[in-house]
Structure formats: structure tokens, C-alpha cells
Chain A
Amino acid sequence: MSDIPYLLIMTVLPLCGAVMVLLAQDDEKTNGRNVISVSMLTVWGSLVFILLALSHVDSSYGHMQLLEKYVWLENPEITLTLGVDAFSLLLILAVNMAALIGMWGGRHEKGCQKSCMVFALLFLSLITGLFVAADIMAFFIFFAALLFPLFMLIGVFGEVKRRAALFRFTFYSFCGVLLFFWVLVILYNHDGANLLISKISQLTLSSKTEFMVWLGIFAALLSRIPIWPFHGWIAAVYVGIKNPLIFILANMMPLTGIYGLMRFVPESVPVSMVFLATGLEIIAVITMLFIALIALINVDFKFKIFSFMMVYYIFYLMAAFFPTSQFMMNVGYSLFAFMIIFAALEVLVSYQEDECEAQKLLPEGILRLMPRLSVVFTFMIMAGIGMPLSAMFVNNFVLISALLTYNFWTGVCAVSSLAVVCVALLLEIRRRKHEVKFSVEQVSAVRDLSKKDVCFMATMMLVLILSLINPLWFIRG
């Protein structure tokens, strides 16, 4: 147990920030600046605590560290345990940095700024809680609670046009929550107490019960990941979101499913899980190929970013089924860089689309009028497709190698999907830099990134390059 409750602070701090945002002055004079400042300061504060927690965590030690126990209920006695390892802290860091980028990028978005930030900070608090949950009850609480701010963000502030798709998506996610609740009840009844996640695989269950438990866990966690055949209308929801912050936060939901599978799935696979794991592998490969190929033919860049995210998420998901957990840190490092790249891309694309809308321009050739944005955009795309500009390069090399060794043809399909989705992104550079004739008035009216924006993005680029040069600089061990 640690003396300073880092994990509790990390979880509660965004919640406090949400309260501060509610109390912040927001009128025509401040024009949302107070709200943004408080929100960003909250996230910066969280980052400080995350880095402090990382300095106390030993990355070579595979078990949960910095354990904190809190009594929730006395009758029945339910104690919630929080704990982290380097992997989950990396994910929390990545999520917070992505949210920071989203807040920076969405700071000029008009309408309902305050309430949007409140729900965004609430979402951040709950997702942090999910990553620090060490027992099944705590995991379930945050797993279920995440739906509420997500639904509010997407439904109220996301400007999603296909409302039916949104309700279906929420219903589908809620079914996952119900399945998880079912599993929780079975396990609580079996053991009589709240179980640590790492102990679930050690339980002696009858074969029927074991099958139901693992099926429930699989199905519940998969409900967060847009696997085939549900990828279509999940894409319709995510891709329809205009606000970059909400798009970024919404696209963190699959991460919860992947994290859950990496936590729950044991190294030695129970017999009942073997066919589930095989089935999941097949579906994962099909989903990757589908999404990648559709991204290639789709001209909507938001869809391409969504596809890029999903293909990589499923690639990382496959790492959950390796027979050894030694690659978890590689997934963590890669995800860390990946989240920053994805968030930056979304913010940059949003900026371009706003300018195109304001100046009534097509996106073809728009980067020619925005040289600063062009440099940053190109860097992020290059880093995203796997060039050695971030921690993604070396760690993806390790993961691809492990995947090819584990199952050669699955690896080939996965790598092909990655290649196709990367080509889809590269095509965007070509399209947006294509020479198009603009009128003099249009050229002079287009606004490039401001110096502040460039400094901010340059900081993110520096973080990515540092993560390539020395990915272990903020971790002990």
C-alpha cells in the first residue's frame, strides 16, 4: 500500500475539476476561456500525479502495485481495491494526453462549452477509475458508469445525425453491461466476496459455470469494440461526431474493452476459452480486413481516422492472446504514442474542416494554404503509419514479430490490414496537398495554425520523438 493515495487522487481529480468547471464564470466576457482553462489545468494536474505514480512503479514487476483498499459497503462487506502496474499507468497517461489535445483543439467550438467539459471530465474520471480498478466490482462500477457521460457527450453535444444508430449503439453497450453484471453475480455468489481480477483464472469452477463466466466476460468486453458485424453502425455514430474532443473521448471506449481483455484473459487459457479465443481471432482478422479495405475506398477522413484506430485497437487486442504477458509493456508504449497521434490528427483534421467550411473550400489542396499545419499533419501521419518518429515503431516491430511467430497467417492478415489502412491515410496527404487553383481572396482568408497552436503541437511532437529515443525515461526499473 502506498502512503499517498495516488490512484484515488488520479480518479477523483477530474471529478473535482468538473465541479470547478460548473462553478467557473462563463459569460460573454470570458467566452468560454475560464471553462477551458480550468479543464486543461485539471488534466495537467492529473498528468503530474500520473508521472509521480509512474516514478513509484517498477515496470519489471508484473503484479499490481500502489494498492489502495476502500470499504464501500459494510453489509454485505464489499471492499474496492485499486491498483496499477506500468501498463495501466501508461494507458491513463495516454488517455489524459489525448484528452488534453482534444480540449486544446476544441477550445474554439461554440455552444454548451461548460456542460460539455463537465461530462468530458466526468468521462476522464471514470475511465481512469476503470484503469486503476484491481477487483471485479470496482471494474464493473466504472465499466457501467462510463456509458452515462458517453451517451450525454455523443447524444447532446456530438451533433450526430443518425439518432437511431446512437440508440442502438447505447443499447448494445448496455447489453454488455448487463452481461458483465451477470458474471459479477455468478462470481460473487461463488466466492462470497469481491474478487481481485488476477484471481478469477485461479477459481475452481464447474465446466458449465466456467464457460458461462468466460463467455460473459468476452461478450461484455467485446461489446465495447466495434467488431464485425457491428462495426458499420458503430462507425456511423463515431464518424458523425463533429466536436474533436468528443470524437477523441468516444473513440477511447474500445480501449476499455481491450484493456479488460488484457486484464481478464489469463496466460494459461482455460479449456472453455480455447474455442472462444479462436473465434475471437477469426473475427478480429475479418474486422481488421473489412475496416481497412473500406477505409481505402472511403473519402471521409473522419472514417479513415476511425478505421485507423479500430485496426490498431484490434491489433493490440490480438496481443492479449499471446501465451506470455511479456509483451504488455510493448503494447503500453505503442498505445501511448498511438493515442497522442490519433488525438492530434483528429484535432488537425477538424481545424481544416472548419476552415474549409468557413471559406467554402474543398479539402483538396487545403494544406498548400496552411504550411505550418501541413508540417505537423505530415509528421503525425508519418508517425501514425509506423515511421520511426515515435515509440510505435519499435514496439509495433516487437508485436508484429510476436504475432507472426504465434500464428503466421493471422499475422500476415493483420499486417496486411495495417498496411492498407496506412495507405488510406497516406492517400489523404496526397489529396490534401494536391494542387488546386484558389482565388486570391480565398488564399488570404485561410487561417493557418497560430503560433500558440504550433508550440503546443511541437510539444506533442517532441514527446513522441522522446518516446522513440528513450521510452523508459519516466518509468523506474
Chain B
Amino acid sequence: MFASAVLKIGLSGLLAELFQKNRAVKSWAVVLFLALGWLLYPVVDSGQLFNRSIWFFTWIKTPVIRVDVALRTGAAYGPFILSQIIVLGFALYYNMFFSLEKLRLRHGGLYALIFMLMMFAVSAGNSLQLLITICLIDVLSFYLISEASVRRNFVFFNFFADFLLLVFFALVWGSENDLHFPAMQKFLKYSAHREFAVALFLTAALIKCGCVGFHNYLLDLKKISFVRAVFLFYGGTPFLGLILLLRCYGIFSLFPWVEKVVAVAALLSILWAVVAACLIDSIKAKILYFNMMVWGGCLGILLSDKQLFLQLIPYITAVALLICCVLILPLVAAANEPFVSKTGGFVKSMKFSLVVSLSALSVLVYFVLGLQLENYKLYACLWLGAAGLVLLHYLAQVYFGSVKADERVWAIVKNPNPMYFLFILAVGYGVVSSQKPLFSAQYLNLCVFALFVPILLGCCSAWRLMRGGDKVYQIESVQQAMPALKFFQILVVAPIRNFGRVLWLTVDFLFVERFLMAFVRRMIYSTLKVSRFLHHNLLVSGVVFTTIGLFVIVLVFYWQGVPVNE
């Protein structure tokens, strides 16, 4: 039933992409959303996602390689599937009415196709199925992104990561002749090239997760619309990075340095995201940096306890989407005003939005403080503090900061369409009401937060340092800076290009063209010259050719011997 639902969603997506174009876009969006509900609600409601089942077929069967493709449900897969259903629901829901997205870019079909592929990625029992779905998701994500400059970085980073993964899995398969993930353990224990292979894998996984240093292609998503950007974050490449790390979890126990590297990457990502979120003016960039913080936190939970991570991933996804949806409210209300520095004082027209935003924040606090992370409670609180700082800083500036919006924006700013709040309230309620079996009842946390938040908010809005931070918004070099990208340009791309130029100049041009080919040309020219001379000068040519003929006769006799007549 699950498999048929997934395939039907994929088929609906394909039909939508082929036939939608610019015709009845909103109707297609509604149809797709309803189709999602109709197909997946029975599956979710009956608890099938957590019951063990498998649907598979043999795709390739040759003497050299056999590849099976499977769709699975069960305790190890259900949480991932559920989180992706939430992400797809978010995207298809917002596709129906998100006024800031152009009609021709409302690719409901692509969302559905990516979801279908993601189900295959989650269910992958062998490396080739995982690799193919990763690559196909990258291709579809490429088509989902409309901006050329965003596509450029996206495709280069992901192509590089996919290539590294291809080489890693090719090494494993070549050594063990087995595509299944357990075969990797033997390879990682005994292969001569295991360190090299692990380095490739780790680089690919960190690129996919969008960790600091490789995060620019994800941050570029601020140039596309909110719905697509957030979908790609939670339903695209970074999610695949987590799946990769989960499928190859054995690497952490066999190579302790890998765990340290991932931990450092996660921590640096969170720190970088906190600082950047406070300094960057763009609202969408702040949302993406918040997502980067969430992903850093996910990596931390994954490292500490794999089973807990599996249980938490749907909740993490839901809460993160919730926060993203409240953060975008001012941008929607202000008719796509993208910069925080052009907002301020929105509390006058958007009280309801503020209340909803604070409620969403309280759900976040409720969720984090309620987690049963005995050994890592401190880290969770620190993360919460950092997230709270970023979010409250943003809310303080937008709602309570001095009015900097222009007249046009100020005239139209008001609470957005009620449809925006429906999703927020539904998800918020869902998270709070479903937590009870998993988390300890921490209603006290909610009350404490209810008192604490307004005080903190007031402090934030009055804090001079925060106001001083507004001056950073005017510094163009800080706003446009992409130090990680510059790092790659200078230390990776430029040396390869210059090496190519040096090779072409020294070897191809100087050695091959000017020396080797010129030598051959001179030899041919000299031979022709001698030949012409010989053929013009009768005496000399006669002597030379006669001598050559005699020489050949002597050589033949020497080789074969003189024939003896018997």
C-alpha cells in the first residue's frame, strides 16, 4: 500500500510537470495537495510506516552486477518517511496560495517527484540505489531552482559530492563485489585504501549536509522563493547527507577521527550560522542560517545517539518548518520586502503574527527542553540559547525596532492571509500533542518561557549592541561576503586552471609543437631536399642508388646465406 501510494504520487508529479505549464496552476496545486492527503493519510493513520514491509524488484541482473530496487517501511525507515511527508505537505500546501511565488514557478509536480525519489533513497538497501536517487534528486532540484547563479553553485558542489560518492562506492564494490551496506564494514576494516575512501565519503557527506565551508550553495537559495528554498533544505540535499551518514554509520566506530571531524563541522556550522544570522540583513538568509543551525544540531544528535535521532527526525522537521513559517510572515506581510533594515515597528499592524511567532518559539523551547538527552542536556540548552538569540533578535528588530520601512510597505503591511497561520497552528498543535510518549511532561517549561520571553524580547529591543548590529546591515562587503566560496576559488579552482595553462604552454606548445613537431617537420623537409637533390644530379644519384642497391644485396646474402647448387 505504501509503495503504491509513493508510485502514484510520483506519477501525479510527472503528469503535473508535463501538462501544467502555466495553465490552471492553482488548480493543479490544490489537486496535488488533495492527492497527497488522499494517498498518504490512510498509510500514516494505519501506522503502516512503522510496520516492517518491503516491495522490491530486480532492476539489473547481469553476470557482472545485480541491482535490486526496494521500497521499505519499518522502525528504521518510518521516521524518515514521516518527516518527508511533512515537508511535502508543507510545500504543496504553500504552493496553493503563496502569493510571492510566480505561478509558472509553482512546481508541485517536481516536489512530488523529489518526494518519490527520496522514498527510494530512504529505503535504499544497496549503494547503487542510494547513489542513483541522490543524483536524480540533484537533477530535479536543479530544475526546481530557476536562478542561473544559484544553479551554478548548486550543480558544482553537488556534482563534486556525487562524483566522490561514486568513487567511494565503486571502491567498495570493486573490493567486496557486494553493493549492500554491510559489505562496507569489511572494506573499511581490511582494504588498503580505506583511509582514502573514507576521506572521499566524508567530504561528500559534509558537502551534502551543507556544513560550514560547503554551505554557500545552500545559502544561495535565498535568491529563490521561500517555499522552494525550504523544501530543498528539508526535502533535498542536506537530508540526503544525513541518510548517507546513517547508512554508513559503521565508519564512526572504525575511524574515530571521522566522529571528531563531523562534531567539529557541526559545531562550527552552528557558530557560523549564529553569527551570520545576526549580521546578515536578508530575511531569507536568516531563515536559511537558522536551518543551518538545525542541521548542525541534527548532526550532533546523530553522533550522540543514532536511535534517538531516528525517533526525533519527524519532530525536528516539523518544528524547524514551523519556525521557518513564522519567520517568513513579515516578508509576506510587507509584500516581499527582503531586508530587515527596511522593516521595524510592525507590531502596530501585526499583533496576531507576533503572538503566533512567540507561540512557535515556545513550542521550540518546549520541544528542546523536553528531549531526553541525559548526557547532552547542556549542549541542547546552549543550542536553544543560540537559536533563541537569533530568533528573538530578528523578531525584536522587525516588530519593535524603529520604523525604517518606506511608505509603500508601511501602507500595506498587515497580518497575512489566514491560510499562512493554519499550517503553523496545525503543526504546532501536532508537535505539542504528540510529544507525550517521547518526552517528559514539561509544562513548567512552557510557563517559565511564557514569562521569560517578553522580558528577553524587551531586553533585546533595548539592547544597544543589537542596535549597533544594525549598522552592519549597511556594510556591503559583509552582506555580500562569501568567504568559503572565495576560499575554493583561490585554493582549488585557480591552481587547477593555472596548472592547465602551464601544462598547455610548456608541454603542448613549447615541447610538442615547437620542439617535437618542428623536429619532425625539419626531418621531413631535409629528407625531401636530399631526395630532390639526388633526383636532379644524375651522376651523384647514380652513384648513391647503385651503392644502396649493392648494400641491400650484401645484406640479403649475409642474412640468408649464399645459395648452394647441389
Interface residues of A (CB under 8 A from B): 60, 228-229, 232-233, 290, 293-294, 296-297, 326-327, 329-330, 368, 378, 382, 385-389, 393-394, 397-398, 400-402, 404-405, 408, 415, 419-420, 422-423, 426, 429-430, 433-435, 469, 471-472
* Given A394-B60, A426-B159: A294 and B503 interface contact (C-beta under 8 Å): yes
CA of A226 to CA of B63 in the docked complex: distance in angstroms?
A: 33
CB-contact partner of A422 in B159, B171, B500, under 8 A: B159
Chain B residue at minimum C-beta to C-beta distance from A297: B500
CA of A430 to CA of B173 in the docked complex: distance in angstroms?
A: 34
CA of A264 to CA of B39 in the docked complex: distance in angstroms?
A: 57
* Given A232-B508, A387-B135, A405-B175: A434 and B148 interface contact (C-beta under 8 Å): yes
* Given A388-B136, A389-B139, A426-B155: A401 and B148 interface contact (C-beta under 8 Å): no
Smallest beta-carbon distance B138→chain A, Å: 7
CB-contact partner of B65 in A394, A400, A420, under 8 A: A394
Whether the Cβ atoms of A290 and B508 lie closer than 8 Å is yes
Does B246 sit at the interface, judged by CB under 8 A?
no
Can you list 24 A-B pairs with a CB-CB distance of less than 8 A?
Answer: A232-B508, A233-B517, A290-B507, A293-B500, A327-B64, A386-B163, A387-B136, A387-B162, A388-B136, A393-B135, A394-B60, A394-B128, A397-B170, A402-B174, A404-B167, A404-B170, A404-B174, A408-B192, A419-B163, A423-B159, A426-B159, A430-B151, A469-B59, A471-B60
CA of A433 to CA of B517 in the docked complex: distance in angstroms?
A: 39
CA of A273 to CA of B136 in the docked complex: distance in angstroms?
A: 42
Does B169 sit at the interface, judged by CB under 8 A?
yes
* Given A387-B135, A394-B60, A394-B128: A297 and B501 interface contact (C-beta under 8 Å): yes
Interface residues of B (CB under 8 A from A): 59-60, 62-65, 67, 128, 131-132, 135-136, 138-139, 142, 148, 151-152, 155-156, 159-160, 162-163, 166-167, 169-171, 173-175, 192-193, 496-497, 499-501, 503-504, 507-508, 511-513, 516-517
* Given A400-B167, A401-B171, A404-B170: A329 and B62 interface contact (C-beta under 8 Å): yes
Q: Report chain B residues within 8 Å CB of A433.
A: 148, 151
CA of A472 to CA of B65 in the docked complex: distance in angstroms?
A: 13
CA of A326 to CA of B160 in the docked complex: distance in angstroms?
A: 29
Whether the Cβ atoms of B155 and A387 lie closer than 8 Å is no
Whether the Cβ atoms of A394 and B67 lie closer than 8 Å is yes
Chain A residue at minimum C-beta to C-beta distance from B517: A233
* Given A408-B193, A422-B159: A387 and B507 interface contact (C-beta under 8 Å): no
Q: Report chain A residues within 8 Å CB of B132.
A: 388, 393
Closest 3 A-B residue pairs measured CB to CB? A293-B500, A401-B174, A401-B170
Q: Report chain A residues within 8 Å CB of B173.
A: 397, 401
Smallest beta-carbon distance A174→chain B, Å: 14
CA of A326 to CA of B65 in the docked complex: distance in angstroms?
A: 11
Which label, helix, strand, loop or mixed, suits the secondary structure of the A interface? helix
Chain A residue at minimum C-beta to C-beta distance from B169: A397
Whether the Cβ atoms of B513 and A232 lie closer than 8 Å is yes
CA of A96 to CA of B450 in the docked complex: distance in angstroms?
A: 74
Whether the Cβ atoms of B512 and A229 lie closer than 8 Å is yes
* Given A400-B166, A404-B171, A404-B174: A387 and B139 interface contact (C-beta under 8 Å): yes
CA of A257 to CA of B152 in the docked complex: distance in angstroms?
A: 37
Whether the Cβ atoms of B508 and A382 lie closer than 8 Å is no
Whether the Cβ atoms of A232 and B167 lie closer than 8 Å is no
CA of A405 to CA of B193 in the docked complex: distance in angstroms?
A: 10
**16 more A-B contacts (CB under 8 A) besides A293-B496, A404-B170?**
A229-B516, A290-B507, A293-B499, A382-B139, A387-B138, A387-B139, A388-B135, A397-B166, A397-B170, A398-B65, A408-B192, A426-B156, A426-B159, A429-B155, A430-B152, A472-B62
* Given A397-B169, A419-B163: A296 and B497 interface contact (C-beta under 8 Å): yes
Chain B residue at minimum C-beta to C-beta distance from A469: B59
Whether the Cβ atoms of B496 and A60 lie closer than 8 Å is no
Whether the Cβ atoms of A296 and B500 lie closer than 8 Å is yes
Q: Report chain B residues within 8 Å CB of A60.
A: 63
Q: Report chain A residues within 8 Å CB of B503.
A: 290, 293-294
Chain A residue at minimum C-beta to C-beta distance from B67: A394
Q: Report chain B residues within 8 Å CB of A293.
A: 496, 499-500, 503-504
Q: Report chain A residues within 8 Å CB of B136.
A: 387-388
Q: Report chain A residues within 8 Å CB of B516.
A: 229
Q: Report chain A residues within 8 Å CB of B517.
A: 232-233
Whether the Cβ atoms of B500 and A397 lie closer than 8 Å is no
CB-contact partner of B500 in A229, A294, A388, A472, under 8 A: A294
Smallest beta-carbon distance A461→chain B, Å: 13
CA of A232 to CA of B65 in the docked complex: distance in angstroms?
A: 38
Q: Report chain A residues within 8 Å CB of B142.
A: 378, 382
Q: Report chain B residues within 8 Å CB of A430.
A: 148, 151-152
CA of A65 to CA of B173 in the docked complex: distance in angstroms?
A: 32
CA of A382 to CA of B504 in the docked complex: distance in angstroms?
A: 27
Q: Report chain B residues within 8 Å CB of A290.
A: 503, 507-508
Q: Report chain A residues within 8 Å CB of B148.
A: 368, 430, 433-435
CA of A423 to CA of B155 in the docked complex: distance in angstroms?
A: 10
Smallest beta-carbon distance A113→chain B, Å: 35
CA of A229 to CA of B64 in the docked complex: distance in angstroms?
A: 35
CA of A137 to CA of B152 in the docked complex: distance in angstroms?
A: 52
Chain B residue at minimum C-beta to C-beta distance from A228: B512
CA of A433 to CA of B507 in the docked complex: distance in angstroms?
A: 33
Smallest beta-carbon distance A7→chain B, Å: 25
Smallest beta-carbon distance A64→chain B, Å: 19
Smallest beta-carbon distance A415→chain B, Å: 6
Smallest beta-carbon distance B523→chain A, Å: 13
Whether the Cβ atoms of A415 and B167 lie closer than 8 Å is yes
* Given A382-B139, A386-B166, A404-B174: A297 and B65 interface contact (C-beta under 8 Å): no
Smallest beta-carbon distance A45→chain B, Å: 30
Smallest beta-carbon distance B137→chain A, Å: 10
CA of A388 to CA of B64 in the docked complex: distance in angstroms?
A: 19
CA of A22 to CA of B511 in the docked complex: distance in angstroms?
A: 47
CA of A387 to CA of B166 in the docked complex: distance in angstroms?
A: 10
Smallest beta-carbon distance B116→chain A, Å: 15
CA of A461 to CA of B136 in the docked complex: distance in angstroms?
A: 15
Chain B residue at minimum C-beta to C-beta distance from A468: B132
CA of A73 to CA of B178 in the docked complex: distance in angstroms?
A: 53
CA of A455 to CA of B160 in the docked complex: distance in angstroms?
A: 32
Whether the Cβ atoms of A398 and B507 lie closer than 8 Å is no
Smallest beta-carbon distance B341→chain A, Å: 26
CA of A297 to CA of B508 in the docked complex: distance in angstroms?
A: 14
CA of A196 to CA of B513 in the docked complex: distance in angstroms?
A: 40
CB-contact partner of A297 in B131, B504, B513, under 8 A: B504
CA of A75 to CA of B69 in the docked complex: distance in angstroms?
A: 60
Smallest beta-carbon distance B562→chain A, Å: 23
Smallest beta-carbon distance B84→chain A, Å: 20
* Given A389-B139, A393-B132: A423 and B64 interface contact (C-beta under 8 Å): no
CA of A426 to CA of B175 in the docked complex: distance in angstroms?
A: 31
Q: Report chain B residues within 8 Å CB of A378.
A: 142
Whether the Cβ atoms of A423 and B156 lie closer than 8 Å is yes
Q: Report chain B residues within 8 Å CB of A398.
A: 64-65
Smallest beta-carbon distance B118→chain A, Å: 15
Smallest beta-carbon distance B485→chain A, Å: 14
Q: Report chain A residues within 8 Å CB of B512.
A: 228-229, 232
Q: Report chain B residues within 8 Å CB of A469.
A: 59
Whether the Cβ atoms of A326 and B63 lie closer than 8 Å is yes
Chain A residue at minimum C-beta to C-beta distance from B511: A229
CA of A430 to CA of B136 in the docked complex: distance in angstroms?
A: 20
Q: Report chain B residues within 8 Å CB of A382.
A: 139, 142
Q: Report chain A residues within 8 Å CB of B175.
A: 405
CA of A147 to CA of B62 in the docked complex: distance in angstroms?
A: 37
Smallest beta-carbon distance B540→chain A, Å: 28
Q: Report chain A residues within 8 Å CB of B508.
A: 232, 290, 294
